[in-house]
Copies of this chain bind each other. A is one copy, B any other.
Amino acid sequence: MKQIITPNVITKVAFNSSDPHEVRQAARAGILDGPTTTLAAGHVQANIVILPADFASDFLLFCQRNPKPCPLIAMSDVGSPRLLKLGEDLDLRTDLPRYRVFRDGKMVEDRADISELWQDNFVGFALGCSLSFESSLGETGLSQAYLEQGRVVPTYVTNIDCEPGGCFSGKLVVSMRQFSAQDAIRAIQVTSRFPNVHGAPIHIGDPSTIGINDLAVPYFGTAPAMKNDQLPLFWACGVTPQIALEKAQPPISITHTPAHMLVTDLRNASLSSF
């Protein structure tokens, strides 16, 4: 098991933080224990869900039926911690900076390594994450206040039911970003190009239409400071499967810790549909 120096802080030990392979190796060696948000720019970062095989086919069905919140980009063989498509050397047991362990749907632990917990019947899922389109939004010049302010994008639980898949079900969770009308149109265009990382927004304008009563009270993240001329845009969010997971209550399941993602060799641009 790798040794942790300072939990939740990126240490000063040198590694090339722009190289996805080196980022994973740093996580594996316990050098990197913090958020991955700013690391390996231009490369896909993935939400991770690890489940026993007898829950995997239900979860796969849930992803297939809810591609906007659960855009599946890779799935491991039963018992294998490898996702060759995302990195030849990649090991799901060690290469994320931090993990969350759930037992019977309840989070019991946040840890830096899951080698000791790995089971022969585990299946790993990698789901696209909005960081991939965030970088395209940034390149397009669409400023995002929450990033500039070093904050976390606010997320909300909507009144929209996901389509159930086996034992997995639950409400759709969305992330919110606010833009002027002109930038909102541009943001819809840019994110439409990335169907594998949540794609276009699912809603624009009045939050109450999708069951959000107060933008100032997010489920997770920082409350936004909306300007008068701004419109809220809502994207399906990778927190959705986590809520479905808690509801399905598998005896054990493991996810990444929020913002502590799997950094892959895939380029964000490779996910663009055109």
Contacts and interface: CB of A to CB of B under 8 A. Distances in A.
A271 to B, nearest CB: 16
A181 interface: yes
Contacts of A184: 204-205
A259 interface: no
Interface string A182-217: 101100110010000000111111100100000000
The residue in A182, A202, A204 that gathers the most chain B C-beta atoms within 10 A of its C-beta is A204
A236 to B, nearest CB: 12
Number of copies: 2
Question: Which secondary structure dominates where chain A touches chain B?
Answer: mixed
Nearest to A204: B181
A189 B200 contact: yes
A119 to B, nearest CB: 41
Given A188-B189, A189-B192, A181 B200 contact: no
A185 B209 contact: no
A204 to B, nearest CB: 5
Contacts of A204: 181, 184-185, 204, 231
Interface string A140-161: 0000000000000000000000
The residue in A188, A206, A231 that gathers the most chain B C-beta atoms within 10 A of its C-beta is A188
B205 A182 contact: no
A32 B229 CA distance: 47
Contact of A181 (B181, B206, B229): B206
Given A205-B205, A206-B229, 20 more contacts: A181-B203, A181-B204, A181-B205, A181-B206, A182-B202, A182-B203, A184-B205, A185-B200, A185-B201, A185-B202, A185-B203, A185-B204, A188-B188, A188-B189, A189-B189, A189-B192, A189-B200, A192-B192, A204-B204, A204-B231
